Structure 1
C-alpha cells in the first residue's frame, strides 16, 4: 500500500514577505522618479530650444516632416544598400582580421616578417582617416586606368572599409587570443596538438567568445561608416539619397530622416551587444579581457 508523498507546504516567513514587498515598492518608486525626472529634463530642453530666436528657421529647414515623409521611401531603399554593404564587408573583415591577429601571434624568429607585416598593417590603417582612404582608393586607383583592376567606386569604397576595419578587428582578436591563459596552450601541446591545431581548436574558440561584444560594437560602427561611401557618388545609399533630396529642395530634412533611420537600425544592435556582455559576465573570473 502506497501513500501520497506530503506536499511541500513551505511558505516564506512574514519578515521575508515584508522585505520582498519593500523591494518591489522601492523599485516602483525608483522607476516613477526616473520617469518623472526624465520627462522634466526633456520638457526643459524642449522649452529652451523653442524659445530661441532662430527656432522657426531651423524648424522649417531641418524638421519639415511633410517633406520628410515624402522622401522617406527613397532614403529607406538607400538604407538597404548600406545594410548590404555592412553585411558583405563585415564577413570579409572578420576573416581578414582573424588572419592578421593570427599572424601577429605566431611564435619563433622565422615568423618575424609576418609579425612585422601584420603590425605595420594595423598601424597604417588604424592611423589613416577612413574618409581620406576612401578618396585615395575611390578616385586614385581608378585613375590609374589599369584594365586588370576594377574601376567601380563602390568596389574601392568597400575595400577602404575592409582595410580600415580589419585593422581594428585584428587588434580585438589579438586581445582575445592573448587573454587565453598560457596553460590552455600548454595543455593542448602536451596532448600532441600542433600550434595551428591549438589555435584552431582551443585558443580561437575561447577568444571569439570573449571578444564577441566588442566585435558587435565594430559592426555598429561599420554600419554608420558605410554611409561615407556616398562621398564617391557611386551608389544610391541613404546618405546620397538624402543629399539628392536636399539639393532638389534646399531643405535639410532628408539628412535628419537618414540620421533617424541609422539610429533606429543601430539601437537593436547596441542592445544586443549589451545583452551579450551581461550574459557572458565580463566581470567574472576568466570572463574579462
Structure 2
C-alpha cells in the first residue's frame, strides 16, 4: 500500500531572518517602482553600481593572487621569506583602510609616478615614451591598488590557515612518492585547503563590497559618492540613503546567500 509523502511549502522551510529580509526587499522594490522620488534617485545611483562592482571584482581578484603568494611565503621553510611575509601582514592589518586609501592616493601614487619617470628617463628622452603625470593616475586605479594591498594581508592569513590545516603526514607521504613541491601543493594541499578557505574568502568578498564605499572619499563615482552628491543637491537625505542602503543590501545579501550555498554544496560533495 503506497502512501503519499507530505511536502512542506517552500516558505515554511525558509528561516525567519531570510523571510524578514525578503519582506524588506519587496517593500524597497515597491517604493522604487511606485514612488517617483525614489525612482529618480534609483536611476541616478544605478550608474554607481557598475563602478562599485568593477572596483570590488578587480581588487578582490588581485588581492587573492597576492594573498596566496604571501601565504606561500608565510609557510615557506626559508626564514627570510617568512619574516618578510609576517612583517607585511602585521603592518598592513594595523592600518585602517581609509587611512591607507589616502596614503596610496596622495603619497604612494606620486612616488610611483616619479619612480616610473626616473626609471624610464632614457626612453622618455628619446621620445619612445611619454612622461607619466600624477593627474593621469586615475583615482579608480588608486582605490583598486589600495584595496588590493589591504585585503591581501587578510586573505593571506586565510590561505595560511587553510594550508596549515592539511595534515603534515599527507604532505610527507606525497613527497616520499616522488611528487615535487608544486605537484604536492597542487594535487594534495590546495584541494583540501580550498574547503577550509572558501567560506572566509567569500565573507571577505562581501566585506570588500561594503568597504568599497570608502573609495567615495577619493571622489570615485560609486554608489556612495553619487548618493552624497544627489542628497546634497536635492536635500532628500532620507530617501537617498534609503536607496543607497537598499542597493548595498541587495548586493551583499545576495552574495552572502551564494557563499552559503557554495559552502553547503562543497560539504555535500565531501560527504559523498
Pick the structure with greater CA Rg: 1
Give the one of 150, 154, 162 matched to 2:140: 154
Matched residue, 1:177: 163
Q: Secondary structure at the match of 1:281?
A: helix
Pairing of 1:106-255 with structure 2 (within 5 A): 106-107=76-77, 111-142=78-109, 146-148=113-115, 151=134, 152=137, 153-233=139-219, 235-252=220-237, 253-255=239-241
Q: In the alignment, does 2:247 pair up with 1:277?
A: no
The answer to whether the 8 Å contact 2:55/2:140 transfers is: no
Give the secondary structure class of the aligned counterpart of 2:201.
helix
Aligned mates of 1:260, 1:112 — CA distance in 2: 48
Task: Give the drift of 1:142.
Answer: 4.3
Unaligned stretches of 5+ residues in structure 1: 1-10, 43-64
Question: Is it true that 1:97 corresponds to 2:83 in the alignment?
Answer: no
Structure 2 CA distance for aligned equivalents of residues 263 and 82 of structure 1: 13
Count of aligned pairs: 238
247-256 vs 143-152, greater mean Cα deviation: 143-152
CA RMSD of the aligned region, Å?
A: 3.1
Deviation at 1:83, TM superposition (A): 0.4
- Displacement of 1:144 in angstroms is 5.2
Quote the Cα distance in structure 1 between the aligned partners of 2:152 and 2:110. 25
Aligned counterparts of 1:82 and 1:264: Cα–Cα separation in 2? 13
Query: What is the deviation of 1:146?
Result: 4.1
**Using the alignment, how far apart are the partners of 2:203 and 2:245 within structure 1?**
18
The residue aligned with 1:79 is 49
Aligned to 2:221, what secondary structure does the other structure show? coil
Shift of residue 180, structure 1, vs aligned partner:
0.8
- Provide the rounded CA distance (Å) in 1 between the counterparts of 2:60 and 2:112: 28
CA distance 1:186–1:145, shift in 2 (3 Å)? closer
| Deviation >6 Å, runs of 4+ | none
Shift in Å at residue 238 of structure 1? 0.9
Relative to structure 1, the CA distance from residue 92 to residue 143 in structure 2 (aligned partners, 3 Å threshold; closer, same or farther) is: closer
Q: What is the CA distance between 1:192 and its match in structure 2?
A: 1.1
Matched, 1:260 2:227: no
TM-score, length basis structure 2? 0.77
Residue 38 of structure 2, aligned match among 61, 68, 74:
68
